[in-house]
């Protein structure tokens, strides 16, 4: 059932473009889904892509353009005139249209908007441009089906048919009063299973979830997931129905959110992708590396402070990378669990219980790992007092590292800062320094140097 873009298919298309065999080209692309054409375009040169975009109908290419990666879309739009862009946007739903206009250079935005043919559509797009990208208003579309609570069912069905022509997918039919205030919804299922003679007030569901136009997108995602909604109406401050958000847009929000956390944990500052430019990738990577460098230079100072140990206990220095790695790994594990727990809203109970739990986990892990070190010491005939010291210090480092990993994200979250920034290099670097200091300090207390 799935269409696959093979190398042969791409080469065939490229040859058809060179030969300008427009009819054969049109034939090869007919019946191909717009998402597949978008994938094809990502493989072609900008010139070839523009050739195809200009050849095909704008009611099809508009969907292709909306489907493209932001970077690829930018290249295509640069090759189109404002008039041509306006033609594409005329065909799109308001939410996709507003997203694309938002990506245009400032000076081109007005020009494109002024060339839109459908004035009603243009007005709705301009309204959407007012909202922040990360709010319900920035995510919603104006396309929806609504009926007035005072209508009878026959009027509703007639009106709905007319409205449904404009809407790609009908999820719910919203019921509003004369001032457009959201009153409830009609489910399509009820519509299928109810006699057409029933009065509308008898049929519609009065209790309907909605979000405010200024609600954050991650909150909208949480609500839609929790209540298993496929679409949610968006209301303004006065409760008036101004748009609706569908689950496919929320899927993108959820994915982006998850990817952002993953990238932060991996020490990437910006949202980068493997096919971004070298400069973009470096800009996303270098900041955390510089932080790591400063952390590393900090531990140079700490170790210089303990260089008296070089006399009798030079092996302590051989163990520092191990200690630093343990502190880092334990810290990242603890913080990842907390960050995910915070995101899924399952960090419950008192902080004291959480403390007891973390200490217990690190005690068990620390004792197991400490025993392994002592066994290693026996096998390599190390001085017992020395390997015991390393084991004990490591146990302390693990406990402290796990507490830092646990409580730094909790504290950040309480202060309204995204706890995900605490994962990855931030925790590893601070745990490195702290772990190395603690290791030498405890070793010095036991061994005395």
Give, as ranges, the residues between 332 and 391 that touch its own copies (CB under 8 A): 332-333, 335-338, 340-341, 344, 346-348, 357, 360-361, 364-365, 368-369, 372-373, 376
Is residue 265 involved in binding its own copies (CB under 8 A)? yes
Q: Which two tokens stand for residue 160?
A: 């709905």
Residues that bind its own copies (rule: CB under 8 A) add up to a total of: 111
Tell me which residues in 174-203 interact with its own copies (CB under 8 A): 188-189, 192-193
Q: What are phi and psi of 141, to 5 degrees?
A: -115, 155
| Closest alpha carbon to 387 in 399, 376, 398 | 376
User: Please, what is the minimum distance in Å from the beta carbon of residue 296 to its own copies?
Assistant: 3
3-state secondary structure at position 373: helix
Is residue 151 involved in binding its own copies (CB under 8 A)? no
208 DSSP assignment: -
Tell me which residues in 89-128 interact with its own copies (CB under 8 A): none
Cβ partners under 8 Å of residue 47, min gap 6? 79
Is residue 324 involved in binding its own copies (CB under 8 A)? yes
Q: Which two tokens stand for residue 75?
A: 């290249």
Which of 94, 135, 263, 430 contacts its own copies by CB under 8 A? 263
Nearest residue (CB) to its own copies, 126 versus 291: 291
Which of 37, 147, 323, 422 contacts its own copies by CB under 8 A? 323
Distances (CA, A) of 171 to 141, 186, 189, 204, 295: 13, 10, 10, 14, 53
Q: Which two tokens stand for residue 179?
A: 């001032």
Tell me which residues in 227-256 interact with its own copies (CB under 8 A): 227-228, 230, 247-248, 250-251, 254-255
Q: Greatest CA separation found in the chain?
A: 97
Nearest residue (CB) to its own copies, 376 versus 384: 376
Number of H helices, E strands in the chain: 21, 6
User: Please, what is the minimum distance in Å from the beta carbon of residue 146 to its own copies?
Assistant: 14
Is residue 412 within 8 Å of 421, Cβ to Cβ? yes
Which of 45, 150, 155, 282 contacts its own copies by CB under 8 A? 282
Which of 90, 429, 434, 438 contacts its own copies by CB under 8 A? 429
User: Please, what is the minimum distance in Å from the beta carbon of residue 1 to its own copies?
Assistant: 5
Which of 15, 81, 198, 225 contacts its own copies by CB under 8 A? 225
3-state secondary structure at position 249: helix
Nearest residue (CB) to its own copies, 122 versus 144: 144
Is residue 174 within 8 Å of 162, Cβ to Cβ? no
Question: Is residue 381 packed enough to be buried (19+ CB in 10 Å), middle (13-18) or exposed (0-12)?
Answer: exposed
| Closest alpha carbon to 134 in 14, 204, 218 | 218
Nearest residue (CB) to its own copies, 109 versus 214: 214
Task: Spell out the long-range contacts of 201-208 with Cβ–Cβ below 8 A and sequence spacing 24 or more.
Answer: 201/149, 203/153, 204/149, 204/175, 208/174, 208/182, 208/184, 208/233
Is residue 135 involved in binding its own copies (CB under 8 A)? no
Nearest residue (CB) to its own copies, 2 versus 107: 2
Which of 123, 275, 355, 383 contacts its own copies by CB under 8 A? 275
- Stretch binding its own copies (CB under 8 A), from 85-93, 116-124, 125-133, 292-300: 292-300
Spatial separation of the C-alpha atoms in residues 128 and 114, rounded to whole Å: 16
Spatial separation of the C-alpha atoms in residues 74 and 409, rounded to whole Å: 37
Tell me which residues in 10-29 interact with its own copies (CB under 8 A): none
Nearest residue (CB) to its own copies, 104 versus 232: 232
Spatial separation of the C-alpha atoms in residues 7 and 412, rounded to whole Å: 49
User: Please, what is the minimum distance in Å from the beta carbon of residue 106 to its own copies?
Assistant: 29
Spatial separation of the C-alpha atoms in residues 317 and 320, rounded to whole Å: 5
Q: How many CA atoms lie within 13 A of 115 on its CB side?
A: 15
Which of 129, 322, 396, 446 contacts its own copies by CB under 8 A? 322
Which of 268, 392, 399, 403 contacts its own copies by CB under 8 A? 268
Tell me which residues in 46-75 interact with its own copies (CB under 8 A): 69
Which of 289, 351, 378, 411 contacts its own copies by CB under 8 A? 289
Is residue 205 involved in binding its own copies (CB under 8 A)? no
């Amino acid at each position: 059932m799935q269409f696959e873009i093979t190398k042969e298919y791409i080469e065939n298309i490229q040859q058809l473009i060179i030969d300008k065999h427009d009819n054969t080209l049109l034939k090869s692309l007919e019946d191909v889904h717009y998402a597949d054409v978008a994938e094809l375009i990502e493989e072609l040169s900008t010139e070839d892509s523009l050739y195809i975009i200009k050849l095909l109908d704008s009611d099809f290419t508009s969907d292709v353009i909306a489907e493209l990666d932001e970077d690829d879309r930018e290249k295509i739009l640069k090759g189109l005139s404002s008039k041509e862009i306006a033609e594409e946007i005329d065909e799109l739903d308001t939410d996709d249209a507003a997203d694309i206009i938002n990506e245009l250079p400032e000076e081109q935005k007005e020009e494109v908007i002024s060339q839109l043919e459908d004035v009603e559509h243009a007005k709705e797009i301009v309204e959407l441009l007012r909202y922040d990208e990360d709010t319900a208003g920035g995510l919603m579309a104006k396309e929806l089906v609504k009926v007035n609570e005072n209508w009878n069912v026959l009027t509703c069905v007639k009106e709905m048919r007319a409205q449904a022509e404009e809407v790609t997918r009908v999820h719910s039919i919203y019921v509003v009063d004369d001032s457009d205030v959201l009153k409830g919804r009609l489910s399509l299922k009820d519509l299928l299973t109810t006699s057409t003679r029933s009065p509308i007030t008898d049929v519609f569901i009065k209790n309907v979830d909605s979000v405010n136009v200024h609600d954050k997108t991650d909150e909208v995602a949480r609500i839609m997931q929790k209540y298993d909604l496929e679409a949610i109406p968006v209301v303004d401050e006065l409760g008036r129905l101004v748009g609706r958000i569908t689950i496919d847009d929320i899927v993108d929000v959820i994915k982006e959110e998850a990817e952002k956390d993953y990238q932060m944990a991996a020490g990437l500052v910006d949202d980068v992708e493997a096919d971004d430019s070298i400069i973009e990738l470096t800009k996303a990577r270098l900041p955390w590396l510089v932080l790591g460098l400063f952390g590393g230079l900090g531990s140079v100072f700490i170790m210089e402070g303990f260089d008296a140990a070089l006399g009798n206990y030079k092996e302590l220095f051989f163990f520092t990378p191990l200690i630093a790695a343990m502190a880092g790994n334990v810290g990242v594990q603890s913080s990842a669990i907390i960050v995910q727990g915070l995101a899924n809203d399952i960090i419950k109970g008192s902080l004291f219980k959480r403390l007891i739990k973390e200490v217990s986990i690190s005690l068990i892990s620390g004792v197991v790992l400490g025993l392994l070190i002592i066994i290693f010491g026996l096998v390599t005939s190390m001085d017992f007092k020395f390997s015991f010291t390393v084991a004990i210090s490591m146990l302390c480092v693990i406990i402290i590292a796990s507490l830092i990993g646990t409580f730094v994200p909790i504290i950040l979250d309480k202060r309204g800062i995204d706890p995900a920034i605490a994962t990855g290099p931030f925790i590893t670097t601070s745990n490195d320094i702290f772990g190395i200091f603690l290791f030498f300090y405890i070793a010095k207390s036991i061994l005395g140097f």
